[in-house]
A and B are shown apart, each in its own frame.
Chain A
Amino acid sequence: MDWAILAAAPADRLHTRGTLQHLTALHWSLTSLHSAQMSRIELRDLTKSFGALAVVDALSLDVASGSFVSVIGPSGCGKTTLLRVIAGLEPATSGSITVDGDSPRVARSHKRVAMVPQQPALLPWRTVYENARLLLDVNRGANPPEATEPTPLLHEVGLGDFLDAYPHELSGGMQQRVALVRALTLGAPLLVMDEPFAALDEITRSEMRTLLNRLVEGRGVTVLFVTHSIAEAVALSDRVLVSSPRPSAIVADIDIDLSRPRSTDVEDDLRFVELCASVRHRLHGGMRS
């Protein structure tokens, strides 16, 4: 049985150093087998309007299981609304939407969607550890079997010495790392991130890109990531969707064929620069139309 899985794994993913990475490679191959059967998110002619104002217009989209998909577009183009609809926080006006084969409402009630908001939204009266547990502590009955204790993850993101610290004692980057752990610790198959690094300085943003790549690679989670930053979208994603101004429509769907695992160096890659240019052109083309 083990051999069968190994055989199914792409060869380049087996060139790994340690046991942990070996397991990681197995996980990857399992999720890619899974993705052949279903896509994590399916939108069919999704429309969302507020009164007469159409924010998302007849959008169709498939996001494969285990892939990292970014949506990039100008401010106010309805990206956040799209995320909220997919997360089940806002009903669609028309069209259909499934997350893992279920309605977003059902996915939400089973805690299968983990959100990372733009602001870290840490509770000031909870310690770092308690904040990282927050999503596990509510609606406990629905905790997915994959849910984990946050402590190892907090160590992994470099917050091991701050488990008992309060949010006000942390820098912006550290706060956002707690928010990342809070989402990952839930063990949800879908991660929904709304410009999570927008409020951070450029140096911290670059660190967070590397960290997020490291955390997500090998975890098999599907990520839907909204951003304003071209470099961020390209560095993180398997696929970048370029959105037009309101009402939201996808004007380009660009495959990011950079190899994984990705380190900070990926941004020095010539291919990275080409991909950024291509996203930028489509973005500006979309804004003119």
Chain B
Amino acid sequence: MSRRLLAPFVGIVGFLAIWEAVVRLGDVRPFVLRSPSRIVAYLADHFGDYAGAAWVTAQHALLGSLIGLLVALVIGSAMAASAFTEHAIQPVLTLLQVTPFVAYIASVVLWLGSGTRPAVFIVALVSIPAFAFAAVDGMRGADPAARELLASVDASRWEVLWRLRLPSAMPSLFTTARYNVGLALIASYLVEGGNFANQGLGAIGKRAAALNEGDALWGAIFAMAILGTLALLSLSLLQRLAMGWHVSQRTRPA
């Protein structure tokens, strides 16, 4: 277990050490690339600002993702229930997935106002397609013998959904959540840079870029990386708790 915790630590420290070495030995100018030690020192000096901003960004990403997940489950259930619905919704989801949301952030801010609402809205919107596709796949994959069994006692559609289809979709939903974490954080960051609320890591990054403050900008990037790592760790923990029964979560063979 200790080796299991040690390995990622070694990987990250190794990566930062190589970076540090390249900057110092290659004598790279700070405006081209800063050394990690300098960025970490800056972050430590402004810890309160960054922690507060990271908390705002985390809330946007989490709330948006949860709303996106709920909407995706509803859409996914409808798609899994009828081929027509599936074929009707699929292109819309694909459209959502391939269009650059950065381009319409300004429109959403004009529509929903400044602050939290546009951030949560965009995060939810970009989370929906992958979650919905995962939900459909997972529900379709529900054990046919178990479906037949529930049918044999006349279980309602709702019961089949709740007792069988949704739990069957959990593995694919968790896999998708790992991918969506990054997407949600980046979406939060970008909206915070354009929603005139001056809150969140995205606002710090945007201002720093505009004022050419490299240290502040790299501080925001590092804070985002730390936030993402914490989010993925929490997700792993949640997965372990919720899916102890699943093959992927077993440490020893049955």
- A121-162 at interface with B (beta carbon < 8 Å): 121, 123-125, 134-135, 137-139, 142
Could you tell me if B246 and A138 are in contact, using CB atoms closer than 8 angstroms?
A: no
Any B CB within 8 A of the CB of A108 = yes
For chain A, the bracket of interface size reads 20 to 34
- Mark A residues whose CB is within 8 Å of B: 87-89, 108-109, 111, 113-115, 117-119, 121, 123-125, 134-135, 137-139, 142, 166-169, 186, 192
Residues of A near B152 (CB, < 8 A) are 87-89, 108, 113-115, 192
Q: Output the nearest chain A residue to B158 by Cβ-Cβ distance.
A: A138
Could you tell me if A186 and B143 are in contact, using CB atoms closer than 8 angstroms?
A: no
A169 to B164, CA, bound (A): 20
Q: Output the nearest chain B residue to A143 by Cβ-Cβ distance.
A: B153
Any A CB within 8 A of the CB of B49 = no
A119 to B155, CA, bound (A): 19
**Chain B: minimal CB distance from A195 (Å):** 12
Known: A135-B153, A139-B153. A123 touches B148 (CB 8 A): no
Any A CB within 8 A of the CB of B145 = yes
Any A CB within 8 A of the CB of B151 = yes
A121 to B245, CA, bound (A): 15
Residues of B near A119 (CB, < 8 A) are 145
User: 22 A-B pairs, CB-CB below 8 angstroms?
Assistant: A87-B152, A108-B153, A111-B154, A115-B148, A117-B145, A117-B148, A117-B149, A118-B145, A123-B146, A123-B167, A124-B245, A124-B246, A125-B170, A138-B150, A138-B153, A138-B156, A138-B160, A139-B154, A139-B155, A168-B245, A168-B247, A169-B254
- Mark B residues whose CB is within 8 Å of A: 143, 145-146, 148-156, 159-160, 163-164, 167, 170, 243-247, 250, 254
Q: Output the nearest chain B residue to A138 by Cβ-Cβ distance.
A: B155
A142 to B150, CA, bound (A): 13
Residues of A near B250 (CB, < 8 A) are 168
**Chain A: minimal CB distance from B46 (Å):** 45
Residues of B near A123 (CB, < 8 A) are 143, 146, 163-164, 167
Q: Output the nearest chain A residue to B162 by Cβ-Cβ distance.
A: A138
Could you tell me if B246 and A135 are in contact, using CB atoms closer than 8 angstroms?
A: no
A167 to B150, CA, bound (A): 18
A172 to B130, CA, bound (A): 36
Most buried by A among B149, B153, B160, B254: B153
A192 to B151, CA, bound (A): 14
Known: A125-B167, A125-B245. A89 touches B150 (CB 8 A): no
Q: Output the nearest chain B residue to A126 by Cβ-Cβ distance.
A: B245
Could you tell me if A121 and B146 are in contact, using CB atoms closer than 8 angstroms?
A: yes
**Chain B: minimal CB distance from A120 (Å):** 8
Could you tell me if A109 and B154 are in contact, using CB atoms closer than 8 angstroms?
A: yes
A124 to B150, CA, bound (A): 15
Residues of A near B170 (CB, < 8 A) are 125
Residues of B near A125 (CB, < 8 A) are 167, 170, 243, 245-246
Residues of B near A111 (CB, < 8 A) are 153-154
Q: Which of B143, B145, B163 contacts A138 (CB 8 A)?
A: B163
